[in-house]
Amino acid sequence: MAKLILHNTYKFIGSVMLLVFYFQANSQTLTFKEVLQFYEGNTSTEISDSTASKVFELERSERWSPFNTGIIVLNEPEFIALTVESRCGAGGFCERSVLVSFTHDGKIIDKTLFESAYGDCTFATIRENIFISDSLLIFTYLDQEYKDCNLDNKEEYLKNELQLEYVFIDKGNFEAPIIRYIDTRRKYYIGSTKFLTPGDLTQYTKDELSIIRNEIFASQGYTFDTPKWQQYFSKQVWYKPIDKNVDKYLSMIERHNIKVLLKAEED
């Protein structure tokens, strides 16, 4: 019983301390270590403009809501990288997060846009993180415009552009993105833009899995010997045969997906 009372007492004290920090975050200028407690507790908390300026060197414009703490993206021996989130008051949807890297004593190393989403019923631009390592971040960036606000008509694009952005990291410094454009005229361009899992593939037939896998090669200009694939891809307006060896052009996403697709085809 005594242990239970002591446990509940500590739990109560912890909750009170977190509540105190929450009110401080909204009204006072906190230090880096104080802000870090919200990240370590997985607590998304609004922070004051003065804290955003002092800790993250971010200034808020009038159309944007106050910043909120986000997530710890990387926690490495040389640096830690945190996201800060905000939304704007425009119609539709409008939100973004900035990734800020620090030394472990709170000195800023670098900043970069992490994720963003803007749009309404006539357009959408969405940047989404799909891969994280200590040396590389990968993002997809989608830019679409629609004919009208008819939700049943979203396939009729005025604009439908997609690119991959590779951001390399060097000791907390974010390098300028390397961009690879994806041809959205492809039926299964998801094979080049998402790390597929076995669960993603259950919706496809064996024939469709084979098409997805071979489309990855075709997108790099692979010249097929098999009449079936020669005939199929010759009808695709985006297909331009170049070489029989395109392995060096395959991205890490595509290499991963080819293995997953092959296994799914064999099962």
pLDDT in tens, 181-211: 999 999 999 999 999 999 999 999 999 999 9
DSSP codes, the chain: -HHHHHHHHHHHHHHHHHHHHHHHHHHS---HHHHHHHHHTT---B--HHHHHHHH-----TTBPPPEEEEEEEE-SS-EEEEEEEEBSSSSEEEEEEEEEE-TTS-EEEEEEEEEEEE-SSEEEEEEEEEE-SSEEEEEEEEEEESSS-GGGTTSEEEEEEEEEEEEEETTEEPPPEEEEE-TTSTTTHHHHS---GGGGTTS-HHHHHHHHHHHHHHTTB---SHHHHHHHHT-TT----BS--GGG--HHHHHHHHHHHHHHH-
Tell me what the mean pLDDT of segment 204-223 comes to. 97
Residue 63, pLDDT score: 84
What does pTM read for this prediction?
Answer: 0.85
Residue in this structure with the two tokens 């919706």, named with its chain if needed: 203
pLDDT band at 108 (very low <50, low <70, confident <90, very high): very high
Quick one: pLDDT band at residue 61, thresholds 50, 70, 90? confident
* pLDDT tens per residue across span 33-55: 999 999 999 888 999 999 999 99
CA angle 237, 129, 216 (to 5 degrees): 30
Residue 161 contacts residue 138 (beta carbons within 8 Å): no
Confidence bin at 260 (pLDDT 50/70/90): very high
Structure tokens at 191: 């094979």
Q: Is the pLDDT assigned to residue 10 strictly greater than 50?
A: no
The predicted structure's pLDDT at residue 23: 47
Q: Judging by DSSP bridges, how do beta strands 123-132 and 178-182 pair with one another?
A: unpaired
Beta bridge partners of 116: 96, 127
How many CA atoms lie less than 13 Å away from 34 in the CB half-sphere?
20
| Phi, psi torsion values for 29, nearest 5 degrees | -90, 110
The mean pLDDT value of the chain amounts to 89
> Where exactly does CATH 1.20.58.1690 map onto the chain?
183-267
Give the model's confidence band at 121: pLDDT under 50 very low, under 70 low, under 90 confident, else very high: confident
Kindly indicate the confidence band of residue 146, based on its pLDDT and cuts at 50, 70 and 90. Answer: confident
pLDDT of residue 189: 97
Confidence of residue 157 (pLDDT cuts 50, 70, 90): confident
The CATH architecture annotation of domain 183-267 reads Up-down Bundle (1.20)
Bridge pairing between strands 108-119 and 93-102: antiparallel
Please report, in angstroms and rounded to a whole number, the separation of the first and last CA atoms in the chain: 55
pLDDT, position 267 = 84
The whole-number average pLDDT for the span 222-244 is 96
